[in-house]
Amino acid sequence: MQPLTEAEIRGSFTNISELELERMTLPGLHEIVWEDREFLGWRDVHAIHRGYIVFWQDGRPVGMVLKAAGSRTRPGISSMCTLCRTPLPGVQVTLFTAPRAGQAGFDGSTVGTYICADFGCSNLIRIVPPASEMQPDPDALVAMRAAGLTSRLESFTRSVLR
């Protein structure tokens, strides 16, 4: 992922009000290893049910505000993140809804999907087994997973922008 500035992040959002944009907290941008990410995702420290995703699409950053569901999956139940397709304990995957862009979002129309609660998808797709006869190239596996994650994120974004 290409690095983003605070101004690029704030200017990228498509489904957020001006007031929400002013209140939005940003992660520590100086701490991010950009080349190991497909998107920047974080939870708002002041509003625990709010999350944000920003990624590059067609040469420009696109951002979305998301709201985490208030209920959690029961302990002992497994879930799968829709973006990275990693099976995890249910408490580590959350249903996030995103208001649609434009008037539809202001009227209450949303799109939802299950995503890693900490937006750690980019880290999870990089956990690969050692090279073996069945999987000789771990780098190719990471590249394939990254392409799939990006494709699914773009599809979700199209649903929000529609």
Name 52's Cβ contacts closer than 8 Å, sequence gap at least 6.
Answer: 13, 24, 40, 41, 42, 43, 44, 63, 64, 65, 66
Strand residue runs (E) in 35-160 = 40-43, 50-57, 60-68, 78-80, 87-89, 93-99, 110-116
What's the pTM value of the predicted model, to 2 decimals? 0.89
Report residue 96 as tokens. Answer: 């996030």
Kindly report which listed range (53-67, 95-109, 113-127) carries the lowest average pLDDT score.
Answer: 95-109
pLDDT in tens, 48-77: 899 999 999 999 999 999 999 987 777 788
pLDDT for res 103: 86
pLDDT above 80: residue 17: yes
Where residue 102 falls among pLDDT bands split at 50, 70, 90? confident
Rounded distance between C-alpha atoms, residue 118 and residue 157, angstroms: 19
Query: From its phi and psi, is residue 8 left (phi > 0), alpha (psi between -120 and 50) or beta?
Result: alpha
Report residue 14 as tokens. Answer: 């498509």
pLDDT for res 119: 96
